[in-house]
Amino acid sequence: MITFAPEIGARHAPTRRFAIGEREVLVFDDLFANKTLRVLYQQMRASHFHWGAYDSMTPPDRHAVRWRADIAAAAAKLPFFEDVIALVSQITTPRLVLDRIYVNFNVYGEVHHAHVDAPDGATALFCANLEWEPEWQGETVFYDGAEPSHVVAPRPGRLIVFDGSLRHRGSPPARDCFEPRINIAFKFQPRTSSHKRPSPAARVVRMA
């Protein structure tokens, strides 16, 4: 299990922090300049997404397909991305390494299933929308066992960092929301993982 720094300096302190059992969720707001947020939103809104992302390989999840775009590993050295990676690195014990980055493009009508990302890793979700009304929904829901227990709303520029072993799910925008819910997902794994990354071919999972 990973742990996050118990005390974080006031300048970039989380605006919200909670634990489910011993596993934590940290919420950061207003970390990045508006100019960077505009670039992220405009670029993501105009990007090509592919149809084929789902929550896990279990049968019900595999029928809940969504839009997604991958982000190349070279992004790790770009502004914004390097800051998110540095933030997670600075607050997490043991140190984790970035596994991958991708963008979710969620619209009304989707189905999201609860799942675990990585038993020994961490996930960071960045809300890349420039505006988001509370009524538009699209919250991230965290579970305590089988029960939903905590909810974090999307907010422009918000970064949610959490223990990858926490069961969670996204949720689609409301019917009267005409904006996609755009979030950038950063997945981190232990530095000394004994698991070898499968070849790209092995990672492509075909639908039944």
Partner 1 sequence: MKKTRKATPVTITLKRTALRPSQLASVVGGGKGETHTNTPQNLTHRVSST
Strands (E), 115-165: 122-127, 140-144, 147-152, 159-163
Q: Please, what is the minimum distance in Å from the beta carbon of residue 4 to partner 1?
A: 9
Q: Which of 22, 57, 131, 146 binds partner 1 (CB under 8 A)?
A: 57
> From the CB of 141, what's the least distance to partner 1, in Å?
14
Dihedral sign of CA atoms 96, 3, 32, 46 in order: positive
CB nearer partner 1, residue 74 or residue 146: 74
Q: Read off the DSSP letter of residue 145.
A: T
- Interface residues for partner 1 in 125-164 (CB under 8 A)? 164
Long-range contacts formed by 201-208: CB under 8 A, 24+ apart: 205/57, 205/62, 207/62, 207/65, 208/59, 208/62
Give the separation between CA 205 and CA 208, rounded to whole angstroms.
Answer: 9
Question: Looking at 15, 47, 151, 176, which residue binds partner 1 (CB under 8 A)?
Answer: 47
Q: For CA atoms 178, 153, 138, 55, give the dihedral sign.
A: positive
Asked if 116 is part of the footprint of partner 1 (rule: CB under 8 A), the reply reads: yes
The position carrying tokens 């997902």 is 185
According to the binding rule CB under 8 A, does residue 191 interact with partner 1? no
Minimum CB distance to partner 1, residue 67 (Å): 9
Using rule CB under 8 A, residue 166 touches partner 1: no
**For residues 6-45, which are near partner 1 according to CB under 8 A?**
6-12, 31-33, 35-36, 39-40, 42-44
Give, as ranges, the residues between 66 and 105 that touch partner 1 (CB under 8 A): 68-72, 74-75, 78-80, 82-83, 86-87, 90-91, 99, 102-103
Helix (H, G, I), strand (E, B) or coil at 28: strand
Running DSSP on this structure, what letter comes out for residue 132?
Answer: -
Does position 171 interact with partner 1 (CB under 8 A)? The reply is no
20 or 37: CB nearest partner 1? 37
Binding part of the chain for partner 1, among 15-23, 137-145, 174-182, 200-208 by CB under 8 A, reads 200-208
Among 24, 25, 27, 55, binds partner 1 (CB under 8 A): 55
Closest CA to 119 of 87, 96, 102, 147: 96
